[in-house]
Structure 1
Amino acid sequence: MAELVSDHVLKRLREWGVEKVFSYAGDGINGLLAAWDRAGDRPRFVQARHEELAAFEAVGYAKFSGRVGVCAATSGPGAIHLLNGLYDAKLDHVPVVAIVGQTARSAIGGSYQQEVDLHSLYKDVAADYVQTVTVPQQLPNVLDRAMRTAIARRTVTAVIIPGDVQEQPYEPPAHEFKMVPSSLGLSGTRMVPPADELRRAAEVLNDGSRVAMLVGQGARDAAAEVREVADVLGAGVAKALLGKDVLSDELPYVTGASGLLGTRPSYELMRDCDTLLVVGSSFPYSQFLPQLDQARAVQIDIDPTFIGMRYPFEVNLLGDARATLRELLPMLRRKEDRSWRESVEEGVRRWWTVMERRAGVDAEPINPERVFHELDPLLPDDAILTSDSGSAANWYARHLRIRGRMRGSLSGTLATMGPGLPYATGAKFAHPDRPVLALVGDGAMQMNGINELITIAHYWREWADPRLVVAVLNNGDLNQVTWELRAMGGAPQFLPSQRLPDFGYAAFADCVGLTGRKVDDPAEITGAWRWALDADRPCILEFVTDPAVPPIPPRADFDQVEKVTSALLKGDPEAWSVVREGVKAKVQEFLPER
């Protein structure tokens, strides 16, 4: 049988080293589905329950494997469903290629069934590269450029293939006019700024006496260099949330996450520093950086479109984080006065004492902070953590300490609900021999997490390490939004929008062949975690938590306090429990150390 365009698509993906494609079937990709059968399911077709979940699975796979994530969808509604996951990839700078079907060329423009203007639909999310394959000879160049662009620019690209083109005999581009041959492969590179710019940066950093560093996911391959620079400069190091797994939290000068979901010592680090070095981060919250006239600042980033953003940097270094820091290090002078570093480390020690006390505050029935605090010492050193958006992200950011080979991520920039579980699925396909924990709220579970459990139940027997633990905070409330209504909008809790219907998450796990356990007694938390981490299959821990425990930011400003007070006075139905739990949590920061 002659090789068809659809056959060559899969062959080309295999040649690029693609091993998994996350997808859901539809007649707009029937040609590809038939080719998958002929190819012996290579690359592997991983069936999601919904195209949005397929896109999130591809993002999770890419984040935790370091490779390109690939997803596929049918024309029309399937292509539309991919968008939320693709925007998550774009905004978090994750390489993902979407392969999308389209109606037959003869019907385009005729208002045919499921016909959507995919170029217009994808022109933003795949702005760096979106193309339609209209003739077979066009295919290799389009697919190769989509792969290279996604890798090089760490972004989303899209390849649109009409259904009739998928079923045409494949013809390679000829050595002729208006043909575009192509080739495979892309080598890595280490971009380094000019020496005179490095010397300018070193001068700024050497002149400072209170140096703060902020590192993001762009510094992940430069962890050793970050540690060495921090040691030379006597600096404290805060982490953007997407860079949570860049450095171990066992290092005494690592202050943890920064920003709205961050820690008190990270806030104090930025408040009190006189010099700032940002490495591999496009951290968006400028209010959590030093005052604009407070610190001299240097930025290192590999993306020229994100250089110089967020803060008036004195020196902007365009380059690979690891290579740039290696060139910069010999130019830096060791700071002999370590008083700044000692004050940072003291703040970190105090913070972990506060976290322990906050986790120990009684709640009704369970304090969600205690759930995460008791997980922390039990985490395997090779665990992969995913979190969903919502109040669970606060506790993930503040209570869980990265160490060993741990990895962790969440929807950092889009902050969409729903990726926690499909990220975990993608992580298991990337690392089937490592334990994965998904930390999610009941809102995210009801949005799409329940469906993802069906996918997990379908595939888990293939994984060398079957452990995938899903922790659900069941508080019956869209808790983060409730807090934002109170703290940022000055409005009371609106029950019709915030209260969630009751659902048995642990019981549902049993229905699909997994295992589950409901926990409503604080004394059972540690035992439940141990049980889940020893399980022989994926399991769901349903923790019944108190919605009145507020995710207090590291510094609640006067405006937020005023608006919360206003919301409570307007008749918030949870008014007094919020006051009670908020005061109990906040007071832990002011108690003398035992």
Structure 2
Amino acid sequence: MAQQVGDYVLQRLREWGVRQVFGYPGDGINGLIAAFGRAAGEGPAFVQARHEEMAAFEATGYAKFSGEVGVCAATSGPGAIHLLNGLYDAKLDHVPVVAIVGQTARSAMGGSYQQEVDLQALFKDVASEYLVEVNVASQLPNALDRAFRIARTRRAPTAVIIPSDLQEEPYQPPEHAFKQVPSSPPQVMHPTVVPARSEIERAAAVLNAGSKVAILIGQGARNAADLVVEVADLTGAGVAKALLGKDVLADDLPFVTGSIGLLGTRPSYEMMRDCDTLLMIGSSFPYTQFLPDLDQARAVQIDIDGGMIGMRYPAEVSLLGDAKATLTELIPLLTGKSDGTWRETIESNVKRWWDTVERQSMLAAKPVNPMRVVWELSRCVPENAIITADSGSSTNWYARCLRFRGRMRGSLSGTLATMGPAVPYAIGAKFAHPDRPAVALVGDGAMQMNGLAELMTIARYRDRWSDPRLVICVFHNNDLNQVTWELRAMGGAPKFEESQSLPDISYADAARGLGVPSIAVDHPDQLADAWARAFAADGPMLLDVRCDPEVPPIPPHATWDQLESTAQAVLKGDPDAWHLMLQGAKTKAQEFVSAVRR
């Protein structure tokens, strides 16, 4: 029996090392689904998400934590449309994902047929690096291979559209003939790019001349963590981390100042405010106002992507290259600093900051302080855990309160900042590393949006993971809290109940009904035991923690005057204004306590 196109697609995926495809079925990919059935036992496995958007998030999470290309699949029309948000998340965070999408039969194209959508127009932006519609079988090797090669080398999503009728036709390879395009066998390429020696020497001169060096790292520094530490020691620098680079260096290093920006730490803010030299490695951190003044510091930037060079800060020297290879060439040219005052100041600020965060986390709230949720997690999380965070106020606590150590990994929707990826990211992480525990930190808004449904996916596939622990922690405050705070602090407006308040449900009860054991927490003294029980469990667990929505996510640059202005705004009609003001004052006061003790 002749091999069908659907069978060949799976064969080529196997040759690329793909172990699973995250997706949702539909008649636009029936030929592909049938091929999965025929390939049972050979792979790749079809992992059924509850929604195509979740499939794209799961593929993105898998790619982030495995370093390999994630693959998702969807039917034509509505299924393809649903993929978009997850694929945009991959695009904006520079993650390699290949989407395989069905299309209406070729004979019906252009006839306003059911579920017919102009997929090339739809995917033109999100898959701008490579988008192809396959219309004859002999296109397939080159189309699939280019999708994988481009996704990997350009760290971007790509898409291959395959009409439904073609999927069931016999596969015919390209011939040695005019207008036929063959392809090389699948192979993973690891290019190493190193800047010119003269440019590295210029960069070394800038760093050697500085007396107050600051380093900012992003996810592009992940393969060079040890070298970043060496550069920091030679230059006497502190190291701030963009959110996507939060897991690159451990937070128990005394010169690591933590996150930067609105969700950042005070020592990161102070270091950027006072430095005279800036080294940026593998980061496209977008908020220029949290970097040094534009005429304050001499800057060196290292990035593998020339399109990201010079975008955020005027770099005196721009080094286009792989972080590890570039730092390897740079380090021998650096001279150690004889004056350790700058480093000592940074380390003192870092120690004071963690003391402040601990006191802020232990403040009483109604009923549970959300900062304490993450502070208690830091105390007991396994050193090989993978942590995912959603978008919302819970992201603040991930950014500021979670202390990375050991081999911990973590990520979130860094640039798109979309709601909903934490749970599917964690699922993708479990398929990437089935032998490691995972934790998803999720607001109740994101949990209601799509996280609840994916609990069924977790329950379904838990037996595929050698370490089945996956802890979902829901920050249950019945409020779309991040936007509520933005309304107050940026818009000078009180909370608008109709848009901000959420239906109150028991996530613990819902989880149990969907096959995931749970623990309800409504008192801070229960937190430590709840985390311990979750990590001691022999499977997934959901923590339903009722949190105080009025604990403020105070930015590191916030002043008393700004807090007073926010308080005046909420007094115009905020439903719990006095409690909000009290929590804000208590939280901000902990910084003052640290300064006095210094």
Fold match by TM threshold 0.5: yes
| AA at the equivalent of 2:181 | V
Deviations 1:547-573 (A, max 9, x none): 111111111268954752452242122
Deviations 1:196-230 (A, max 9, x none): 11111111111100000000000000001101100
Partner of 1:538: 540
Partner of 1:568: 570
Q: Which runs of 5+ in 1 are unaligned?
A: none
Partner of 2:10: 10
Conservation of the 8 A alpha-carbon contact between 1:488 and 1:563 = no
Partner of 1:403: 405
Q: Distance in 1 between matches of 2:175 and 2:209?
A: 61
Q: Distance in 2 between matches of 1:58 and 1:309?
A: 28
After TM superposition, give the deviation of residue 262 of structure 1 in Å: 0.7
DSSP 3-state at the match of 2:591: coil
| AA at the equivalent of 2:288 | S
Q: Distance in 1 between matches of 2:523 and 2:559?
A: 34
Matched, 1:593 2:593: no
Deviations 1:147-175 (A, max 9, x none): 00000000000000000111111111000
Deviations 1:467-498 (A, max 9, x none): 11111110110111100011111111100010
Q: Distance in 1 between matches of 2:405 and 2:103?
A: 46
Q: Distance in 1 between matches of 2:27 and 2:330?
A: 55
Change (3 A) 1:362 1:400: same
DSSP 3-state at the match of 2:22: strand
DSSP 3-state at the match of 1:176: coil
DSSP 3-state at the match of 1:131: strand
Conservation of the 8 A alpha-carbon contact between 2:456 and 2:515 = no
Partner of 2:335: 333
| AA at the equivalent of 2:35 | A
Q: When the two structures are aligned, how many residues end up with a matched partner?
A: 594
After TM superposition, give the deviation of residue 593 of structure 1 in Å: 2.9
Matched, 1:491 2:498: no
Partner of 1:221: 223
After TM superposition, give the deviation of residue 189 of structure 1 in Å: 1.4
After TM superposition, give the deviation of residue 186 of structure 1 in Å: 3.6
DSSP 3-state at the match of 2:165: helix
DSSP 3-state at the match of 1:438: strand
DSSP 3-state at the match of 1:277: strand
Conservation of the 8 A alpha-carbon contact between 1:137 and 1:171 = yes
DSSP 3-state at the match of 1:485: helix
Conservation of the 8 A alpha-carbon contact between 1:489 and 1:563 = no
| AA at the equivalent of 1:126 | A
Partner of 1:160: 161
Q: Distance in 1 between matches of 2:298 and 2:501?
A: 47
Conservation of the 8 A alpha-carbon contact between 1:470 and 1:540 = yes
Deviations 1:509-530 (A, max 9, x none): 2112221111111111111111
Deviations 1:118-152 (A, max 9, x none): 01100000000000000001111011000000000
Deviations 1:333-356 (A, max 9, x none): 111111100000000000000001
Conservation of the 8 A alpha-carbon contact between 2:455 and 2:515 = no
Q: Distance in 1 between matches of 2:560 and 2:198?
A: 44
Matched, 1:30 2:30: yes
After TM superposition, give the deviation of residue 39 of structure 1 in Å: 1.1
Find the partner of 1:350 among 328, 349, 352: 352
Partner of 2:284: 282
After TM superposition, give the deviation of residue 22 of structure 1 in Å: 0.0
Matched, 1:550 2:552: yes
Partner of 2:245: 243
After TM superposition, give the deviation of residue 244 of structure 1 in Å: 0.5
Partner of 1:111: 112
Q: Distance in 2 between matches of 1:338 and 1:174?
A: 68
Matched, 1:126 2:130: no
Q: Distance in 2 between matches of 1:574 and 1:90?
A: 40
Partner of 1:308: 310
Partner of 1:174: 175
Q: Distance in 2 between matches of 1:569 and 1:249?
A: 38
| AA at the equivalent of 1:104 | A
Partner of 2:61: 60
Find the partner of 1:319 among 308, 321, 342: 321
Q: Distance in 1 between matches of 2:562 and 2:162?
A: 50
Instruction: Summarize the alignment of residues 358-369 of structure 1 with structure 2, pairs less than 5 Å apart.
Output: 358-369=360-371
The answer to which of 70-79 and 520-529 deviates more is 520-529
After TM superposition, give the deviation of residue 462 of structure 1 in Å: 2.0
Conservation of the 8 A alpha-carbon contact between 1:491 and 1:566 = no
Instruction: Summarize the alignment of residues 262-277 of structure 1 with structure 2, pairs less than 5 Å apart.
Output: 262-277=264-279
TM-score (normalised: structure 2): 0.98
Q: Distance in 2 between matches of 1:560 and 1:195?
A: 48
Conservation of the 8 A alpha-carbon contact between 2:550 and 2:583 = yes
User: Superposition RMSD on alpha carbons, in Å?
Assistant: 1.1
Matched, 1:519 2:521: yes
Partner of 2:50: 49
Conservation of the 8 A alpha-carbon contact between 1:134 and 1:162 = yes
Q: Distance in 2 between matches of 1:558 and 1:283?
A: 27
After TM superposition, give the deviation of residue 575 of structure 1 in Å: 1.7
After TM superposition, give the deviation of residue 40 of structure 1 in Å: 1.4
DSSP 3-state at the match of 1:82: helix
**Which segments of structure 1 move beyond 2 Å, counting only runs of 4 or more?**
557-563
Partner of 1:201: 203
Deviations 1:63-111 (A, max 9, x none): 1111000000000000000000000000000000000000011111111
Conservation of the 8 A alpha-carbon contact between 1:493 and 1:574 = no
Percent of matched pairs sharing the same residue: 67
Q: Distance in 1 between matches of 2:292 and 2:559?
A: 15
Change (3 A) 1:44 1:236: same
After TM superposition, give the deviation of residue 49 of structure 1 in Å: 0.3
